[in-house]
Structure formats: structure tokens, C-alpha cells
Amino acid sequence: MTQAWVLIPAILILPALLAVAGMLSRSARVALGICAAGTVATGALMAALAALVPHGAAVTVPGGWLRVDSLSALHLVVMAIVFCLGALQAPGYFRHGVADGSFDRRTARRYAGLWFGSLAAMAAVLLSNNLGLMWVGIEATTLLTAFLICVTTTPGSLEAMWKYLLMCSVGVALAFTGTLLLAASAGRTGIHGTEALLWTSLAASARGLDVQLVKAGFVFIVIGYGTKAGLAPMHNWLPDAHSQAPAPVSAVFSGFLLNAALYCILRCLPVAEAATGDAGWARGILVAAGLVSILTAAAFVVVQRDLKRLLAYSSLEHIGIVTLGAGIGGVGAFAAMYHMVLHSIAKSTAFTGAGRLIEIFGGNDMKRIRGSLSAAPLWGTCLLVSLLALVGTAPFGLFFSEFMMLRAAFDAGSYAVGAAFLAGLSIVFIGVLRHAIPMAWAPGEKPANPHVPGIVEWLIVALPLAALLLSGLWMPSFVREAFAAAASVTGVLP
């Protein structure tokens, strides 16, 4: 375990050092190069740490504030993938801005500092065993990622930044109240001081906690962190932020920032369930929140004209699906972990393709993007295949995770939940394909800014798409065990 004790602080310290290096870089290209190389190096450390944690076990740093178990290890791997995809696409995405000076050295330095700051803050959320430290990490991500939205300043990006900052700050304040109520619920168990904020202490003494305080705290936590996760009806910041941010930032927002906030809710789920007698009280809240998010996304997807807003509402749907699966529990929780991983990969890839097509066709309006498969084969294929995976087309893995979740709902006798879930999926399926087919095949105007992709761009498209396809055809035993172990941390063994 000595290696893990070294890796845990290293994962927090290295991005901080890289942020300083990026902010001192001598040119925009160097800053973006530091982002790419540094993110890959940090991602390698995260993967190495996840590999050191046996399924079902945990590694705790002396003092107990930092800890890695199967749930956090799985999220670390997902985070590494999403950040690496975003960092590797950034040099190509910003190349025109670097050439014409709109993405100058000063902007690139700020971007690099915020990028690594966000990476460190999200890592702190996943590595924290202390609910207070976890809250600080989420609050830090709000402040840091807000400025990433408007790294290239426009009136629209400034408005989106302020909306995101205001709504998520209120949400995080509610989550803080929930955290204090959870800590206060431990008063009669003999746990005092900072011990009452340790997740391991609360989980071990859950049946002795004050039930009313736990219920109140969990409701605040779901509303507070749910706002940051983009759960409906607290999701209003999400479409604006995703549509106005640069594509690499949108990929991180959809691919992992939402997961990080939902992770905080999942951490508190087993505590709330055990304290309330494992009667399904807390899980019922997640089922309701998941369904509301899926149905809200379905209503908005069919009327979208902006490509990035379409992807944003798709993220609302998928964070709802993961929440629903965690609420169902059992096989549903396993499917939620499976779905969370694949959605992160698919959505990051979709934003990669969308960002380039928007640049090539000169706007976000989907009516302007026509015949992308012939005009820009790599990016057109990237977006089309990603969308097919996201709507749950077989044989992509997301089809099987949704099928498992649907079956879990029916097996649990929740026929109304299953029917509503199926209705939401069907509407989104039709709504997204209604836009995807003309974008791929319909005849249109000649692209305004054609671009020949390089080898790195081929790799950041081909590898994720191959993984999405393979995930539906074959699941190695170690991956299945990782999903099962992560799901078991949320309280119910699959």
C-alpha cells in the first residue's frame, strides 16, 4: 500500500505544479502542449492508483482524510480518460485562435492554469474521505470551471458563466447545509469533531444516526449536488454552459464534471439508506430525480436547433439514467456504473466531433451542418457514431446498460418507472436521430473552413469509438468486477 500512499498526494500535487508551469509558458502552443502532456501524465498516475486498489477493498492515507475504494477508483479512471481526450483535442481545436492571435499567450496561460486547477479539484473530490473536504473540492471546481466557459470571451459565454456560477453556488451552499446536518446526526453515536465528517465513520455508525437529521441532510445534498450534476429541475445552467464553452471544456463538463457532483450524492446514499432502515427511502428520491431528468431531457431534445445544446440535453438524460439506476439498486446499480463510464467516453467524443464540425460549417445551428460525412469524413463519422451510441443503438454498450436498467426496474415490480424510462428513451432516440441523419447525409453548402486532420486527431476519434463498439460485444472479467465492486459501495450488492 506504500505505492498508493505516494500516488494519492502525487495526483493532487502534480496538477498544481503543472498549473504553475502552464501559467509561466512562453507561448500559447507551449501552454497547450503542457496541458496535453501533463494531463496524460496525471491520467497515468490515476490509472496506476486505480490498479493498486483491489476490488472491494480500500486504501486510506494515515489520518483518514484521503481514501480510495472501488467507487472512487472507477471514477478516477473515467476522469483520466475524459481529461486526456479533452487535452489532446485542444491544440487542434484552438489552432486558428493561436494563428490569428485571438487565443494568445495570456489566454492560453489562463486556460492552462484553470485546466489543471479543475483537474486537481475534481481529483480531491474523488480522493476525499472527509465530506467537508469533498465539499471544498466541488466548490473549487465551480469557481475554476466557471472561467473556463468564457476563456474566449463573448457576450454569450459571459452570460453562461454567470448563470453557471450563480446557480451552482446556491446549489453548493445547500449541499454544505446537508453536509452539516449529516455530521450533526452523528451526535448521539459518540462520534465528535472532524470524525463526524468522515464517510467511513458515518457509514460504520449509520444505524445509530439521528434519522430525521439524516433525511433532512440527504434532501439538501441531493438538491445541492444535484444542481451541480445538472439534475432536473435544477439544470438550467447546463445548456448555456455547454453551448458557450470551448469544445474541450464542454467535453469535460459533460464527460466528468456532472459525474463528480453525482459521485458526492452516491457517497451519501448508503449512509442515508442504512440510517433509514434500508427501506428504500433515499433510493426513491434518486429514482424520482432520475425520471424527472430523463423526461425533461426528452421534451427539450426534440425542439433543439443548436448542436451543443442538443448534446447538453443528452447529458441531462444520461445523468438522469445513472441516477435512476443507482436508485433502483442491485443490477440497476451495476448498470449505472457501466452506463456512467460509456456515457463519459461517448459524450467526450461527441463534443470532439461537434466542435470541429461547428468550426468547419461556421456555426452551432444544425440546419447549417449538412452532409458532414462527405464534407468532413472523420468529424462527421465521429459525431454520427457517438450519437448512435448515446441514443442506445445496438450493439453499443449503452444499449445493454439501458436494457439492464429497464429489466432491473421490471424485476423489482416498478412497472410505472420502467414504462416512464422506456418512454423517455424512445423520445430521445427519435429526437436525436431526427437531427443526426440530415447532419450526416443531407446535401448542403460547401464547408466554410475545411480541415485535414492529423494522426493525433484520428487516434482521439478512432480509439474511443472502437471502445464504445467493443463494450457492447465483450466485457472482460476485470471490468465486470470493477463495475460490481463500485456498485456495491453505493449500498446494494449487484
Question: Which pLDDT value is given to residue 391?
Answer: 95
Number of other residues whose CB lies within 10 A of the CB of residue 198 = 24
Residue pLDDT tens, the chain, 494 long? 667 778 999 999 999 999 999 999 999 999 999 999 999 999 999 999 999 888 778 888 877 889 999 999 999 999 999 999 999 999 999 998 899 888 999 999 999 999 999 999 999 999 999 999 999 999 999 989 999 998 877 888 889 999 999 999 999 999 999 999 999 998 888 887 788 899 999 999 989 999 999 999 999 999 999 999 999 999 889 989 988 899 999 999 988 899 999 999 999 999 999 999 988 999 999 999 999 999 999 999 999 999 999 999 999 999 999 999 999 998 999 999 999 999 999 999 999 999 999 988 888 899 989 989 988 999 999 999 999 999 999 999 999 999 999 999 999 899 999 999 999 999 999 999 999 999 999 887 666 666 778 888 999 999 999 999 999 888 999 999 999 999 999 876 55
210, 185 Cβ separation under 8 angstroms: yes
Block residue for cell numbers 489552432 = 95
Tell me the C-alpha to C-alpha distance, in Å, between residue 179 and each of 51, 63, 134, 213.
30, 20, 10, 10
Residues 6 or more apart whose CB falls under 8 angstroms from that of 238 comprise: 230, 312, 315, 316
Question: Which pLDDT value is given to residue 349?
Answer: 95
Question: Which pLDDT value is given to residue 1?
Answer: 65
Block residue for cell numbers 467511513 = 200
Residues 6 or more apart whose CB falls under 8 angstroms from that of 29 comprise: 91, 98, 108
Number of other residues whose CB lies within 10 A of the CB of residue 492 = 20
Question: Which pLDDT value is given to residue 448?
Answer: 61
- Per the structure block, which three cell numbers stand in for 349? 467524443
Question: Which pLDDT value is given to residue 193?
Answer: 77
Amino acid, single-letter form, for residue 40: V
**Phi then psi for 404, rounded to 5 degrees?**
-60, -40
Question: Which pLDDT value is given to residue 450?
Answer: 65
Look at residues 156, 189, 200 and name the one whose alpha carbon lies nearest to residue 67. Answer: 200
pTM for this one?
Answer: 0.94
Question: Which pLDDT value is given to residue 452?
Answer: 76
Tell me the C-alpha to C-alpha distance, in Å, between residue 325 and each of 89, 330, 416, 471.
31, 9, 15, 19
Look at residues 228, 65, 73 and name the one whose alpha carbon lies nearest to residue 140. Answer: 228
For residue 464, the surrounding DSSP H or E stretch is helix 455-473
Look at residues 142, 153, 306, 129 and name the one whose alpha carbon lies nearest to residue 230. Answer: 142
Tell me the β-bridge partners of 69.
Answer: 58
